[in-house]
Structures are given as structure tokens and as C-alpha cells.
Amino acid sequence: MDGMNAWRSASESMQPIVYRKRRNPMARGEREWRVEEEALVSVGADGRQRAVAWRDVIGVRLCHEPARRRPWRFAFEIQPRAGRAIEIDNAHLVALGAFEDRSASYTLFVRAALERIAACSPKARALIGETPRRYFVLLLASLLGLCAAAVAITVFPTPLDDLPFATPAKLAIILVLAGVFWRWVIGALPRGVAFDAIPARAFPPDDHPHDLKEAA
């Protein structure tokens, strides 16, 4: 608790930016994340607190990571010098299968955290996109899917076969799929950026809806 008292004393000169969310149905309530002057402080539903000093952060990652029933999900990952990475997203679990989009408070929180990390840990790296390992797996899976779709369109009978322009139509479909694949490859490519040059696409859009997303 002495460490936590130190964080509280150091943070008196600034108003903490607070973000709250519930991650899973087993949690008793919402977890609170606070951007304080010297540390990221998290408070669980049971009142237990944990602090990670900004000076101990060696890297961050921001990415649009859609998930089931959460196509609007964005994630912010903080990697301390020691220990596991901390991942925070903009999806608040309201009930089983129902999520609330908290992009507004999430974006304010992330921007405040990035500002403190840049100030306290100048050597920290900012990564945009997937992690290299996840990117490789997704790239391989997507490429196999594209090849399978191309083979299916060209080899197996389709309603297009009876049309006089069947071959150009199939080629056009394959080109469209290839374009979608290439756009994903570029967008998800892991790349390092300066903290003051993080692109807007790393955050939820300003006009992002904030309503309740329920399971079908």
C-alpha cells in the first residue's frame, strides 16, 4: 500500500482521467482505470488496487480488433518492463451476450495514457496494428481463404456459368476479393510510429455509435 500512497501523492497535481468497464460475466462489477501523473492505477470491483508506473512502460499497441458481436472493438495494449501486457478495450459487458460501446471515454483515457507514457518513458515504442505473430497467422489464414475462394469460383459450377460473360464475371469477383485482402494486409500491418504521430484510425471514429449491442 505504500506504493499506492506514493502514486496518490504524486497525482494530486492533476485530475485523473478515469475509464470503467466490465470485461467478463464472472466479474463482480466494473474495473476502474485511472491515468494519474506517475502511474496507471487500476481498481477492481473488490477495491483491490494495482499501479504500473509510466516510466516502466516499454511499449504500447493500438489496433482495431473486431470480435464476435463487437465489430466496433478497439484495443489498447500496455507492455510494462516486467510482467504481462495489459489490454484494455472499448467494449463494456452489460450482460451475457450484450455489450456497450464506451468509445467516448475509452478514447479520452487512451490519449491521456499515451501523453503520460511519452512524457515519462521517452524510449517506449508505439505499435499500430496486429502483433507480428498474430499478423502472420491471420495473413496465412486469409491467403488460404482467398485461394480457396478463387479455386471454388473457377472450378466448381456456379450460376454464372450459363452467362455469356461468365469468365470475366468470375475474374472480377476474384479481383474484388483480392482487393479486400490487400486492403486488410496494409491496414493490419504492424508498424511503429512516434507517439505524436499515431493516426486517427488507431482510435474509434468520432461518430462511432455508443448504443447497446445485444446478441441476436
CA angle, corner 61, sides to 58 and 65, nearest 5?
160
Q: How far apart are CA 184 and CA 189, in angstroms?
A: 8
Contact between 45 and 29 under an 8 Å Cβ cutoff? The reply is: yes
Residue linked to cell 450460376: 159
By three-state DSSP, how is residue 19 classified?
A: strand
Q: Are strands 125-128 and 57-64 parallel, antiparallel or unpaired?
A: parallel
Q: How far apart are CA 124 and CA 57, in angstroms?
A: 6
Q: How far apart are CA 214 and CA 117, in angstroms?
A: 35
Q: How many CB atoms lie within 10 A of CB 68?
A: 9
pLDDT by residue, tens only, the chain of 216 residues: 444 454 444 445 568 899 999 987 777 789 999 999 999 999 998 889 999 999 999 999 998 888 888 899 999 999 999 999 999 999 999 888 789 999 999 999 999 999 999 999 999 999 887 666 666 777 788 888 888 888 888 888 877 777 787 788 888 888 888 888 877 777 667 778 899 999 898 999 975 554 444 433
Q: Which among 10, 7, 110 has a CA at the least distance from the CA of 62?
A: 110
Q: How far apart are CA 1 and CA 6, in angstroms?
A: 9
pLDDT at 214: 43
Contact between 104 and 210 under an 8 Å Cβ cutoff? The reply is: yes
Domains of the chain: 2-129+191-214 (2.30.29.30), 132-188 (no CATH)
Q: E strand or H helix at 78, and its extent?
A: strand 74-80
By three-state DSSP, how is residue 51 classified?
A: strand
Q: Tell me the sheet residues that pair with 17.
A: 35
The 3-state DSSP composition of the chain as helix, strand, coil percent (nearest 5) reads 40, 30, 30
Q: What are phi and psi of 113, to 5 degrees?
A: -65, -40
